[in-house]
Chains A and B, each alone.
Chain A
Amino acid sequence: MTSVLVKDLTLKFGAVTVLDNLNIDIPEGEFLVLLGASGCGKSTLLNCIAGLLDPTDGEIHINDRNVTWEEPSGRGIGMVFQSYALYPQMTVEGNLSFGLKNARMPKAEIKERVDRAAEILQIEPLLHRKPAALSGGQRQRVAIGRALVRDVDVFLFDEPLSNLDAKLRADLRVEIKRLHHNLQNTMIYVTHDQVEAMTLADRIAIMKGGIIQQLDSPTEIYNRPRNKYVAGFIGSPEINFFEGRIENGVFATTGERFSLEGYEFQNNGHEGSAWLGIRPEHIVSGDAAKDLPVSARVTIDIVEPMGSDTLAWATLAGVPLRIRMDGQAAVSSGDEIHIGFDPSRASLFDKTSEERV
């Protein structure tokens, strides 16, 4: 069953088109992440779904009800904000119950719901404190609690972890995942952090310029990016790109020819100018590389050891090449090594349309 349906949604501020004819169908219980660089329209889309921005055109349905012009409070959504947005003059309890009081719910039921939310989020000892007396992590729990007490089917998260430090962010990320696992609500989550997106999402929608570039599962997006932008956006360290031509099942670039044996073309027999992308972690180094369909000898320029793994920089076919190696790999700059990759792991994009071929 469809939980949230975005139909032909367009939003313009004057002459600027912020959202361009978007269509998303989110099934019940799905965790959807809207991912993109700042200014891509992801937060705008979330605000439209929440009813905080009026769309220029199109419709929004929540639980099979057209809510395009419904007030935010009448849409059956709960929302968590980046800056927590807790009401500073109210206690935690006041924050949690504010929405319920506005809906004129009986006192007993308000208490019951607040207590249950506090229990789930383990914030019972904080109920009578003011937000100023809470830590960042506690504040964000309260903010999640405020969405929780509303007992709604759809949760909206607007970069909820961006204001937290790295460790807390990792902790709360797991907690949000657990929450989704237990509650099985539909969740729409906006972030610019690809780790959050990959770890949390059932499906990721990558946005750029008000358009969804790709809407797929995390593995699909990682392995089979639909266009060059998505390939470059997902993955850290960034994917390596080579510019060249596809000729007779071979990718020809400056001074090198890569075999494309095993690559799954979208439609057979593509020829012409193209980009080839290969992720640093898919490049094999050492003797094992010799047996791969594509292999070459390169000289290491710079090595960046990161503990768990090591990033080595070399030059291949005239472009800088990132190679991700094991953290224990004994390489240093100036070393000459064998590298290679399996073409089925690579991605090919048309030169002009930048679409996957």
Chain B
Amino acid sequence: MIEPALASRLQFALTTIVHIIFPVMSMGLAPFLVYFTWKDIRTGEPIYEQLRRFWTKIFAISFVVGTVTGIVLEFEFGTNFAAFSTAAGELFGGPLAVEGMMAFMLEATFLGIFVFGRERVGNVLYMISAVAVALGTWLSAVWILIANSWMQTPRGYELVTENGQMIVSLVDPIAAYANPRFPWMYVHMQNAAVLSVALFMAGVAAYHLFRHYHWEYPVDHPQFWEKTLKIALVVLIITAPFQVLHGDAYGRHVAETQPQKFAAMEAVWETESYVPEYIIAVPTNLEDLTNPRAKEIFGIGIPGGASWLASGGDPSAEIIGLNEFETEAPPVAIVFWSFRIMVGLGFWFVLLAFWAGYRWWRGQLLEDDLLHKSLMASSLLGILAVEVGWIVTEVGRQPWVIQGVMKTADGVSPGLTGFEATLTLVSFAAVYLGLLALYSYVVFRIVRAGPPSITPEAPETDVVREETGAGPTPAGGDDD
């Protein structure tokens, strides 16, 4: 049996890591779908109907899996972190309730019309549905991140004793909900979602184009994939550099507001000036290889780099070391390496964006095989960057569940047994692994099948072909 506190944390980590994939897909796809729908209605060009219908399929499956995995998270605060929920419900419950009412309701109802209702409603209501779904997904993130950012930079509260228990009482809602972290987190997350989806779209498009032009294994709609690639690249060229610039400023904000997390990100144990920005760091003792809190480390880095980043340009700036804090350091190695992977990927995306932009400008977009291979290999890396970014945020704030106020270990449900917690943890591991495999399988099938064929005169030809099974093409790839 795993002890309840550890099992609860592992379970929450697992369920969040899996869940976040689906909101990233739906939040990132939402603006694209609004654009495709708008162009489809305004121009009536078949390619926009193809774009809308193809990407809506992926949106719909992401949304459904996101719904069922999201409810799990909302319930886990009560099931596994009852002490936290009782103590912080005043501040934390409100945003979750408002998220449900303001955002999730909007997206879930209009999604029905957006996915199933093209033939049932007029253009205006259809366009409204597309906007409502997109607005809903983005508003959802507002309230979830308000709740999360409050735990990182808590404000507007007071500790009071109620029925013999300490609780966090809300005294100033504006300070609490418009807390310092929220705008940083929201901009970084939403841009990351759009960037991740742009990378995914570019990767998928590159796969089909590579097949078509390089392998000379014709796909049905090369012009569809070229258009997809170009739209994705425009978005990539905007979002990738923005993410790096924004991340740099965000890092300074973290250094100011959560110095312990920043020290873990840079693996700084002793308070020092001229702290280098390690590219890599390894424990000097072999016994410490599996110890995430090893203090004796050897690193190769840029002299003064971390100080320079923390202060915004001063290589002599002092960084408070982990030894200064009374609380145990977070598992430094996890935070340190996750941060490096995220930053490394961020720079890679910028390089990719400029490279593709340059080829496009020279009119060689479809001729650079290495570029296409790189785009294919990067299609899921945006999501990976989101995952490691959140690991930095959430593991980095340990041991606190509410920074400086309440420890994670004190938030766990008091009555929870090791048996119960282990049982659900193991079940989730199995179920979510299956869920991920299924989701990947379904998305892969949709991607491989490609967009529906549309001719302006007879928009339903593809349906007929699917039903009769006639006219299979190499790209159709239907192996049923």
Q: Do A and B bind each other?
A: no
